[in-house]
Structure 1
Amino acid sequence: MKTKNYFFLSLIAVFSFTTNAQDNSNNQNVEVISPIDFYITLPMTDYPQFNPMDVPAKEFPRGGMYSGKQQQKADFLKLAGESPTQLDPIIQTQSQNRNANPPIVNFAGITSFASPPDPTAAVGPNHIVQMTNTGWTVFDKTGNEAPGFPKNLSDPLGSGQGDPIVLYDREADRWLISQFVFNSQFKIAVSTSPDPTGTWVVYSYPSGSNDYPHYGIYGNNYVVTGNFSSAGRFHAFNREKMINGDPTAEMVQLNLPNYSGGTVFQAPQPAHSEGAGIATGPTPIVWFQDNAWPGVSTDHIKVWNFDVDWTNPGGATISSPVEIPVSDFDSFIGGTGGDAFANIQQPGTAQRIDALVHVLNYQTHRYDFGSHESIVLNFVVELVNGSKISGLRWAELRKVGAGDWELHQEGTYVDPVGDESVFMGGIGMDQEGNIGMAYIKSGATTKPSLYFTGRQDGNTLGVMTVNEELIIEGISSVTNNSRYGDYSQLTRDPIDDLTFWFTSEYSGSAGGRKTRIASFKISDIVLGVDELDLNNSELIITSSDQNYFDLTLMNTSTNDILRLSVYDMTGKRVVYEQVEKTTSEYYKKSINLSSVSAGIYIVEIGNSKTKVNKKIIVK
């Protein structure tokens, strides 16, 4: 085993402890658990470069590294009940009437012999971080890889079994990366600065079953769900403490009440909040239910609300679920040749690949538009029972004020030009309410390839109106096994909140499993990044009580949507919002700092090229 150069906190011993608190609303125990390991790394540039192609070919069975759970799920799928839905009732038949622009940036991600690679990627103001089952790396936004990368997952996370996830925490301007030690530990690292090539604080938390994790950021919580238990067990972590490098950062563990996983493979998801401003209120956790599953009478989506005050984590609560009726669907696609996972056709081979049934595709995003909140999600469905041709059922949920989540729109997206399968979708919304969705397509004439589509806000509900656009064409078929992947990821660029970035696997040339990273827009608006002329810009800040502040930026050199941040003197950001131009001559915004401590703060407003700042005093 190679020696690591970590800075350990010699004066702090971190011990695991568990406390129980009663959740009065659902009569369940809340477990509060401390990390069993904590350390601070050297800068990532000090660790050796890693070549993922040096790792021998390895299949990563579903259920982590153990084939027993994979067999368990396979046995269930073989015995799964017949779906009452014979034909998907909301297959998109309306033609797409808006031409898509080609991808903006489109470059190769990590290539390895891992089967599958399970790529995830997140984007910040200046970097893209991608993770796979064999390694992780950092790019700039034109696809240039950072010097000294890729790195082994063990640098900085320590040894583990993969299923890595990366998130960009835009409110803190930090990065989160993770992997698991199967059925033993969650390993999570948070960057100590906006630079992912710098130092990280690393936490390890004990766990039972922890397969197929799905992480999200919501308010002051990092939340993870996954294939953990038939009771819908999930975990949340003290985000503020982890950002601050506090070795006592707690994890809480609860179960979802009235939960039905349907199979032995459980995969609910936490809502991941994207957009300016930290999410407030409870964290939604989302899951769908198929009436082919035991005990489920109608097809529907469930939403639970998780709430925790980290000054009293033992008082965390999880609500009973809201059931949201949706159009009938069939979430099961049978296998072939004795392989329960071999369902999607490929050209030139009898080998079929796994569409990833009975799960929500990663991620489930939440957005706050002021007048309402939205959640978008997608999962694989069989279009005609027994056809082994998949589509993507997608939905937008909405909530107004303190009301419940309700279905706003739904659709079943299918191959618009033939009878191929579309699967492994990533879906998101931009700041205008437009939806982008990227996916894998494979079938009798299409080798596994990557595409995207979308719709503009105001278009006919339930319809992806943007013509399918190619990201990269597959040039081979998988012939050695049915495992294709459990993860892809679509995220929104924090610079303009209009650009989507997508990573997934496709079938490239011989010599390893290929991943791709690409960006695209659905919006017709093209936001330039003009210089904010400092010589002709004036930031005026007024306040009558030193708690509520009115900001006016006089400027005629740009019409960009600007980013407004307020930092305390330690560099911690306490406000992050986007500001549209009020008139041709100025930007105007009011901010409420009544909840922060008294002291000196720095107000900063600008775009990715230039910023103006000024000190204020909060009393």
Structure 2
Amino acid sequence: MWLLWCSAGAHGQEQPGAPRVIAATKQDTAQQPLRALQPTVSLAAGFVKKPYHANPHATVSLAPPKRDPLLQGAPVVPKASMGAAAPAPAAPKKAVQVTIGKSFDGIGAGFHGPGGTFQVRNAPPDTNGAVGESQFVQWVNTDIAVFDKNTGAVALGPIPGNTIWQGFGGNCEQNNDGDPIVQYDKIANRWVIAQFSVKNGFSQCVAVSTTADASGTYHRYEFQYEDFDDYPKMGVWPDGYYISFNMFHGQNFVGSKVCAYERAAMLAGLPARQQCFQLSDQFFGLLPADLDGATSALVSAEGTPGSAAPPLGSPNFFLALGSQANTLDLWNFHVDWNATANTTFGIGPNHTPNQSIPVAAFTFACGGSGGSCIPQPGNPKPEQLDTLGERLMYRLAYRRFADHESLLATHSVDTGVAGSQTGIRWYELRNQATGGFSVFQAGTYAPGTNHRWMGSIAMDKAGNIVTGYNVSGAVFPGLRFAVRRANDPLGTLTTEKLLFKGTGAQHCILGVGGACPPGCSEPDGTCKLTRWGDYSSMSPDPTNDCALWFTSEYEKQTGAFNWKTRIASLLPKGQSENSLQLGAPPRSSVVHSGNSRLGTEPTARRWRRSRKLLTLKRRP
């Protein structure tokens, strides 16, 4: 979320039950690599507190929240109504220990790189990033940077995000509005990056790299919408780039919108379409499944299990906190690029969820509001921070094993402990060829008295789960992580570890005569800065599928508009990223593009890439 709307287009309705198929408004391929482009100097002055567009269905309960039934204490085994327990993924005989590998500062106050020194001008940062073969790309609102993932050195940036669209023309080149997304398409070894443009109309600006080098050239696209396309979240899938938005018409929430972008065309730099469905205002905060697994590009010619790729022709899955209490809503998005009339989302013309999955009872953070209740230490007492506890947190991590498919999700809840303590609720959903997903395990993590929120969760190829998050309360806002090893009791996380210590509070310090600092004034006359997040990211390293990379916000020095971010890899103890090897893919492998099967190659150890087909070649 970035700027208030400067215009409001006519509010249109999709034809019930049918996708709306719209070609990209603009499309080209950059003639120069990103590293050669000269950023436009930003003329923005002052500080901007981004508006917070909350889930309209979140309400504060007057009664104190009940104790969360999954609050970690004893091992949790899901009830029959929440999905029967099933064998865990194959695990090492000895429990693996996860530790910090690389750790370095990302974009934030005082951050310096080849592009100069970054100055914070807005809050929150909307920290997002992804890891590729040799680089980590991070994007916060306004600026993007490319890092050497092995050394942490800044290879490019910080530069304004819209530099990517320099020479493209229109809103994508002119506006730098934020809500960034960074994805690494592990199937094609390409970067997929996007932000919205919400001045002079509403657009999503999407760029797909032409190589695995994030500083190179990009195929560039603009997709337009009739309403404000807030809080975009994207997932990579073999037949499309899937994306969700919370749509607003003026100040009114009109429902979530889900779209599929034509991935095969975008990888080739060709004109591309989007297929979209507009949902009712009953549904908010959907997340598309995002494909994990270093062998995601590989699946046997018969489409049989054995790789991390979804079954041939599988729909993408979208998940949201349920419209009914204590449920998760799940939709199947089946896209057909050859006959778009066959594309479906959910059930029937109203796009009813394919499943309403029962889960253990929970209360949105902050007594049900999902608002601002995270305390910080200090005297005078600093403001309380936002939780965004009324929605699932990015990403919805998908992984396929030989005998099941897995989805990981997390959100912030009120634990029901004194002081409205906020904790991390997490789920693993599994589909074991039963026709649908159910809860395999779930837990709520909130040890001690501190608050935990703004989490992101992912799994490595061995089935070890790691969640990273913010922590605050008696400690300054910092970063921690916790692990569920593949052979641990269901629904439990191990003792958390410090990822990076916060040493200050986010606080608007009054000036001479009680003057409120720039950017801190509220319409009601108060002086505060509660905005935090709005999201973080945990994603697996495509070169080994063991290391998980996390990036998020922390505070170093008490003040306002001076946030910092951190980037870190988490991996098995005693290992380094360079020592980890890819697991062997199936003997006969195929890469899918769109709905077509492209070919087979023998098992291999080293990637050989072509424009549309990835094969493997044996190392001599």
Q: 1:141 aligns with which of 149, 156, 159?
A: 149
Q: 1:514 aligns with which of 541, 564, 570?
A: 564
Number of the residue aligned with 2:332: 305
Post-superposition CA distance 1:215-244 (Å, at most 9, x none) = 111121111113225443211100110111
Instruction: Give the distance between the partners of 2:386 and 2:219, measured in 1 at CA.
Output: 36
Post-superposition CA distance 1:80-135 (Å, at most 9, x none) = 45579521111002499989554110000001422111110100111100000020
* Map 1:352-363 → 2, pairs under 5 A: 352-363=384-395
Shift of 1:403: 1.8
Number of the residue aligned with 1:315: 342
Q: Which moved more, 1:518-527 or 1:298-307?
A: 518-527
User: Would the aligned equivalents of 2:424 and 2:455 in 1 still touch at CA under 8 Å?
Assistant: yes
- 2:380 is equivalent to residue 380 of structure 1: no
User: Would the aligned equivalents of 1:434 and 1:522 in 2 still touch at CA under 8 Å?
Assistant: no
Q: 2:37 aligns with which of 18, 33, 47?
A: 47
User: Would the aligned equivalents of 1:300 and 1:325 in 2 still touch at CA under 8 Å?
Assistant: yes
Number of the residue aligned with 1:459: 488
Number of the residue aligned with 2:443: 411
Instruction: Give the distance between the partners of 2:464 and 2:320, measured in 1 at CA.
Output: 23
Post-superposition CA distance 1:265-309 (Å, at most 9, x none) = x2110010111234340000001126xxxxx3x411111100111
Number of the residue aligned with 2:66: 86
User: Would the aligned equivalents of 1:330 and 1:385 in 2 still touch at CA under 8 Å?
Assistant: no
Structure showing greater Rg = 1
Instruction: Give the distance between the partners of 1:299 and 1:83, measured in 2 at CA.
Output: 17
User: Would the aligned equivalents of 2:96 and 2:485 in 1 still touch at CA under 8 Å?
Assistant: no
Shift of 1:346: 0.3
* Counterpart amino acid of residue 254 in structure 1: F
Secondary structure in structure 1 of the residue aligned to 2:476? coil
Shift of 1:363: 0.5
Number of the residue aligned with 1:251: 274
Secondary structure in structure 2 of the residue aligned to 1:150? strand
Number of the residue aligned with 1:573: 613
Shift of 1:313: 2.7
Instruction: Give the distance between the partners of 1:218 and 1:350, measured in 2 at CA.
Output: 43
User: Would the aligned equivalents of 2:75 and 2:490 in 1 still touch at CA under 8 Å?
Assistant: no
Instruction: Give the distance between the partners of 2:445 and 2:504, measured in 1 at CA.
Output: 25
Number of the residue aligned with 1:236: 260
Relative to structure 1, the CA distance from residue 45 to residue 402 in structure 2 (aligned partners, 3 Å threshold; closer, same or farther) is same
Secondary structure in structure 2 of the residue aligned to 1:210? strand
Instruction: Give the distance between the partners of 1:222 and 1:502, measured in 2 at CA.
Output: 22
Relative to structure 1, the CA distance from residue 496 to residue 395 in structure 2 (aligned partners, 3 Å threshold; closer, same or farther) is same
- 2:220 is equivalent to residue 198 of structure 1: no
Number of the residue aligned with 1:329: 362
- 2:213 is equivalent to residue 189 of structure 1: no
Instruction: Give the distance between the partners of 1:250 and 1:84, measured in 2 at CA.
Output: 49
Shift of 1:355: 1.1
User: Would the aligned equivalents of 1:450 and 1:472 in 2 still touch at CA under 8 Å?
Assistant: yes
Number of the residue aligned with 1:7: none
Relative to structure 1, the CA distance from residue 526 to residue 30 in structure 2 (aligned partners, 3 Å threshold; closer, same or farther) is same
Instruction: Give the distance between the partners of 1:604 and 1:216, measured in 2 at CA.
Output: 28
- 2:259 is equivalent to residue 226 of structure 1: no
Relative to structure 1, the CA distance from residue 223 to residue 502 in structure 2 (aligned partners, 3 Å threshold; closer, same or farther) is same
Number of the residue aligned with 1:582: none
Number of the residue aligned with 2:18: 29
* Counterpart amino acid of residue 434 in structure 1: N
* Counterpart amino acid of residue 130 in structure 2: A
Secondary structure in structure 1 of the residue aligned to 2:386? coil
Secondary structure in structure 1 of the residue aligned to 2:264? helix
Instruction: Give the distance between the partners of 1:147 and 1:550, measured in 2 at CA.
Output: 35
Relative to structure 1, the CA distance from residue 80 to residue 468 in structure 2 (aligned partners, 3 Å threshold; closer, same or farther) is closer
Shift of 1:326: 0.6
The number of residues matched between the two structures is: 507
* Counterpart amino acid of residue 87 in structure 1: R
Q: Which moved more, 1:148-157 or 1:467-476?
A: 148-157
Shift of 1:462: 0.3
- 2:427 is equivalent to residue 395 of structure 1: yes
Number of the residue aligned with 2:158: 150
Identity between Structure 1 and Structure 2 (%)? 29
Q: Which moved more, 1:492-501 or 1:93-102?
A: 93-102
Instruction: Give the distance between the partners of 2:275 and 2:132, measured in 1 at CA.
Output: 28
Post-superposition CA distance 1:441-480 (Å, at most 9, x none) = 001x110000111111121100002x21111100110113
Number of the residue aligned with 1:471: 499
* Counterpart amino acid of residue 168 in structure 1: Y
Secondary structure in structure 1 of the residue aligned to 2:427? strand
Secondary structure in structure 1 of the residue aligned to 2:18? strand
Instruction: Give the distance between the partners of 2:97 and 2:46, measured in 1 at CA.
Output: 37
Relative to structure 1, the CA distance from residue 93 to residue 522 in structure 2 (aligned partners, 3 Å threshold; closer, same or farther) is farther
Shift of 1:260: 3.0
Instruction: Give the distance between the partners of 1:76 and 1:549, measured in 2 at CA.
Output: 49
Number of the residue aligned with 2:290: 272
Q: Which moved more, 1:392-401 or 1:38-47?
A: 38-47
Q: 2:104 aligns with which of 86, 104, 107?
A: 107
Instruction: Give the distance between the partners of 2:580 and 2:475, measured in 1 at CA.
Output: 42
User: Would the aligned equivalents of 2:459 and 2:466 in 1 still touch at CA under 8 Å?
Assistant: yes
Number of the residue aligned with 2:512: none
User: Would the aligned equivalents of 1:137 and 1:145 in 2 still touch at CA under 8 Å?
Assistant: no
Number of the residue aligned with 1:129: 137
* Map 1:159-178 → 2, pairs under 5 A: 159-178=175-194
Shift of 1:527: 7.8
Calculate the aligned-residue CA RMSD, in Å: 3.3
Shift of 1:506: 0.2
Number of the residue aligned with 2:85: none
For normalisation by structure 1, the TM-score amounts to: 0.75
Relative to structure 1, the CA distance from residue 299 to residue 75 in structure 2 (aligned partners, 3 Å threshold; closer, same or farther) is closer
Secondary structure in structure 1 of the residue aligned to 2:234? strand
Post-superposition CA distance 1:488-546 (Å, at most 9, x none) = 000000111110000000001367210100011257877864999xxxxxxx999xxxx
For normalisation by structure 2, the TM-score amounts to: 0.75
- 2:531 is equivalent to residue 483 of structure 1: yes
Shift of 1:45: 1.5
Relative to structure 1, the CA distance from residue 285 to residue 110 in structure 2 (aligned partners, 3 Å threshold; closer, same or farther) is same
User: Would the aligned equivalents of 1:435 and 1:455 in 2 still touch at CA under 8 Å?
Assistant: yes
Secondary structure in structure 1 of the residue aligned to 2:440? strand
Instruction: Give the distance between the partners of 2:394 and 2:357, measured in 1 at CA.
Output: 20
Shift of 1:573: 2.5
